[in-house]
Amino acid sequence: MSSLAGEVGGLILENPVMLAAGILGTTGASLRRAAMAGAGAVVTKSVGSIPRDGHPGPTVVPLDIGLINAMGLPNPSYREFQEEIDIGKTGGIPVVASIFGADPDEFASIASGLTADAFELNLSCPHAEKYGAELGRYPEAVQSVTKAVKARVRVPVWVKLTPNTADIVELGLAAQDGGADAVVAINTLKAMAIDIESGYPILGNRFGGLSGPAIKPVAVRCVYDLSSALDIPVIGAGGVSCFVDAIEMIMAGASGVQIGTALQRGYGVFGEIIEGLSAYLERRSMRLSDLRGLAMRRT
Ligand code: SIN
């Protein structure tokens, strides 16, 4: 089998296929299961400074093209979450803690209160008042949050960017200027669905974030634009469901890919993607690094 091992955003990984934040990373057991299923790294559900119940239900609308969620960042607070990270670590792969806060100080104090292999800063949730994209759509905020966290931790810091902006590259450059080790693109696209019988929005929060196959072409374009402009690695997320999608992301410039919505099919998705990627490389006698950014060629 072709080796898929290498460095991604300051972490040495067995393979570049990771569990995305939010989907299954709510417990140490689920992080460990993703590791056992072959993931190269796992990202936790986002945690904040105080416990949150999240938005009222319904919190998910399944669609043929993906799903819309408005979970509302439910979490037990970072103080209650270290144990889950520690259990996740027994899977033997890096555990990346996804964190959110309302300002640079809150982000920095959460990061300094947790032990993880890296941090992913959620500056992109499209449906939580005071958090996520409410800060992350402003380059100055992205830069100052990143800088504040970098000043307090000694592990890599990734910044997950919002696509709900006119120019994702300026957000990526702000993360880079703040000292980020990588950016992750993209979080969900702000979306809504309406029940035509009642005439009400389906989600308890009225709107949420669209993920899954529908957003993959947007994610590929964002990865391409970011990879063309930034010096730091870009990690692709958004609708990756099979090895072909993963290769597309890597050809757009991604150093790694994160899997979220596709895990509705089960943990076996990791193995399918890793085997497909490896077989593709072997068939073509290529290394992973040969694929990266291939779509940027002009000749
Ligand atoms: C949520 O928990 O509300 C989803 C998180 C996100 O969209 O970043």
Domain boundaries defined on the chain: 6-297
pLDDT at 162: 98
44 lines ligand 1 (CB under 6 A): no
What is the number of the ligand 1 atom nearest to the C-alpha of 98?
Answer: 8
How many whole angstroms from 166 Cα to the centroid of ligand 1? 21
Q: Which of 19, 125, 148, 254 is catalytic?
A: 125
238 lines ligand 1 (CB under 6 A): no
Fold of 6-297: TIM Barrel (3.20.20)
Locate 45 and state its tokens: 């559900």
Edge-to-edge strand list for the sheet holding 60-63: 60-63, 66-69, 208-211, 189-191
Test site for ligand 1: of 53, 61, 69, most ligand atoms within 8 A of the Cβ: 69
Locate 276 and state its tokens: 């497909």
Render each residue's pLDDT in the chain as its tens digit; 299 residues: 568 999 999 999 999 999 999 878 789 999 999 999 999 999 999 999 999 999 999 999 999 999 999 999 999 999 999 999 999 999 999 999 999 999 999 999 999 999 999 999 999 999 999 999 999 999 999 999 999 999 999 999 999 999 999 999 999 999 999 999 999 999 999 999 999 999 999 999 999 999 999 999 999 999 999 999 999 999 999 999 999 999 999 999 999 999 999 999 999 999 999 999 999 999 999 999 999 999 999 88
71 lines ligand 1 (CB under 6 A): yes
pLDDT in tens, 95-147: 999 999 999 999 999 999 999 999 999 999 999 999 999 999 999 999 999 99
pLDDT at 22: 87
The model carries a pTM of 0.98
Assess contact for 76 and 51: CB atoms under 8 A: yes
How many whole angstroms from 129 Cα to the centroid of ligand 1? 11
165 lines ligand 1 (CB under 6 A): no
CA torsion through residues 28, 34, 38, 43, sign: negative
- Cα–Cα distance, 52 to 46 (Å, whole number): 11
73 lines ligand 1 (CB under 6 A): yes
pLDDT at 2: 64
Alpha carbons within 13 A on the beta-carbon side of 143: 10
Is 125 one of the catalytic residues? yes
